C-alpha cells in the first residue's frame, strides 16, 4: 500500500513521537517551515510537540500517541514528518491505532529512532513508510540541496529513480553553527560483495530495528533488500557494536533469501574504513552470496536520500560500478 504523492496545497503535520521540538532553536524551526512552505505545503503541528519531560526530553506516551493517531485521522493531513529522533519511540508501539492507519494511509517520514515506528507501521498495516529527513533536517541552512532533491523525487513524483552519491557530505554540528561547516568530498558508494538483486526494502537504523526482534512489530525480512546504518554512539568500538547487531539480525529465523544489503555512510567518530567494512562482511559466511554495498547517503551524516520501507529497490554492483534504483 503506497500512500498518495504530495502536491501544492497539501497539509503536512509535524509530530514528535521521539524527542520534543523544544530542543530545536527558533532559527532552525523558521528555516524548516519556510523550506516546506516553499514546496507549496501547509505546515501544521501536533498539539504536544513542545511537551518535554526533563529526563526523557519527550512528551508522555499518551500525548505522543494522541498526536500520531490524530495526524492519521485528520483527512486534511497528507503527510506526517517527525521532529527529530531520540531513544524511546518504541514506547508507543502498543498504543498506535493500526486499523486507523490502514483506513487512512498517508506519508510517514523520519529516521534514526523513528525506524521503530516506520517498520512497525509497515509490518502491521502494509503501508509503505519512509526513512528520510525529519522536520528538523529542513532547518539546515547549507548543503541541503541533495536531501531536498530526493525528498521531492519520492514524495512529488511517481517514477522509479536512480540514487546517485552526493558530491559532498558533512558530520558537523550544523545545528549549533550554520556558517562554519566542515564539508568533506564524497568518494561515493563502493562494492563489498558484487552482484545484482531486486526486492522490497526493509531497514533503517540497525540497533533500533533490532529492538523489534521477537515482537509483533518486526517486519518479515525474508527475501528483502536491507538498508542498514547506525550512529556513532559506540565511538571507537563501532565496528564491534555494528558487527554484533548485524549478527543478531542474521540469527533471526527470517534471515533467509536476503536479496542485498545497502549500508549507510557512517559518522567520522566511528573510525570505519573500507577495509574494516569489508573485513566485517567477509567474516560472515551467511553473506558470502549476497550483494553488499556501503557508503550510501543515508544515516546520521548529511545529506541523506529518502528510501521507502516496503518500497522496491534494484541493485547492480558489478565490475566496480553501482546502479541503485528505488521506487515507492
- Residues classed as catalytic: 112, 229, 300
Q: Classify the C-alpha dihedral 93-308-86-69 as positive or negative.
A: negative
For residue 246, which of 197, 194, 192 has the smallest C-alpha distance? 192
Find the helix or strand (DSSP H, E) in which 206 lies: helix 206-210
For residue 117, which of 227, 212, 207, 22 has the smallest C-alpha distance? 212
187 contact partners, CB below 8 Å, separation of at least 6: 295
Spell 50-77 as b/e; 16+ CB within 10 A means b: ebbeeeebbbeeebbbbbbbbbbeeeeb
CB 201 within 8 A of CB 313: yes
User: How far, in Å, CA of 110 to CA of 76, rounded?
Assistant: 20
- The residue with cell 545545528 is 175
- The residue with cell 541552512 is 141
How many CA atoms within 13 Å lie on the side-chain side of 286?
15
Neighbours of 2 (CB within 10 A): 16
Whether cis (ω within 30° of 0) applies to the bond prior to 303 is: yes
- The residue with cell 497539501 is 10
Amino acid at each position: 500500500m503506497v500512500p498518495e504523492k504530495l502536491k501544492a496545497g497539501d497539509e503536512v503535520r509535524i509530530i514528535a513521537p521521539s524527542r520534543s521540538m523544544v530542543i530545536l532553536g527558533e532559527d532552525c524551526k523558521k528555516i524548516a517551515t519556510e523550506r516546506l512552505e516553499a514546496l507549496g505545503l501547509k505546515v501544521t503541528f501536533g498539539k504536544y510537540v513542545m511537551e518535554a519531560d526533563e529526563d526523557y526530553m519527550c512528551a508522555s506516551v499518551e500525548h505522543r500517541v494522541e498526536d500520531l493517531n490524530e495526524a492519521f485521522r485528520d483527512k486534511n493531513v497528507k503527510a506526517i514528518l517527525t521532529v527529530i529522533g531520540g531513544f524511546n519511540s518504541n514506547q508507543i508501539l502498543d498504543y498506535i491505532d493500526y486499523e486507523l492507519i490502514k483506513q487512512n494511509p498517508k506519508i510517514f517520514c523520519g529516521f534514526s529512532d523513528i525506524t521503530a515506528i516506520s517498520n512497525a507501521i509497515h509490518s502491521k498495516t502494509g503501508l509503505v513508510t519512509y526513512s528520510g529527513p525529519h522536520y528538523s533536517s529542513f532547518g539546515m541552512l547549507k548543503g541541503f540541496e541533495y536531501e531536498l532533491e530526493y525528498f521531492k523525487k519520492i514524495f512529488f513524483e511517481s517514477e522509479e529513480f536512480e540514487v546517485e552519491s552526493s558530491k559532498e557530505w558533512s558530520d558537523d554540528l550544523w545545528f549549533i553553527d550554520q556558517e562554519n561547516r566542515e564539508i568533506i568530498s564524497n568518494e561515493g558508494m563502493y562494492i563489498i560483495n558484487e552482484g545484482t538483486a531486486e526486492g522490497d526494502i526493509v531497514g533503517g537504523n540497525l540497533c533500533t530495528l533490532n529492538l523489534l526482534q521477537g515482537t509483533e512489530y518486526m517486519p518479515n525480512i525474508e527475501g528483502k533488500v536491507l538498508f542498514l546504518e547506525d550512529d556513532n554512539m559506540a565511538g571507537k568500538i563501532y565496528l564491534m557494536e555494528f558487527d554484533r547487531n548485524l549478527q543478531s539480525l542474521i540469527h533471526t529465523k527470517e534471515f533467509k533469501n536476503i536479496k542485498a544489503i545497502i549500508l549507510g555512510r557512517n559518522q567520522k567518530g566511528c573510525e570505519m574504513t573500507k577495509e574494516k567494512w569489508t573485513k566485517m562482511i567477509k567474516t560472515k559466511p551467511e553473506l558470502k552470496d549476497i550483494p553488499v554495498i556501503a557508503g550510501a547517503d543515508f544515516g546520521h551524516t548529511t545529506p541523506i536520500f529518502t528510501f521507502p520501507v516496503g518500497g522496491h529497490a534494484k541493485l547492480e554492483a558489478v565490475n566496480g560500478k553501482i546502479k541503485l534504483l528505488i521506487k515507492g
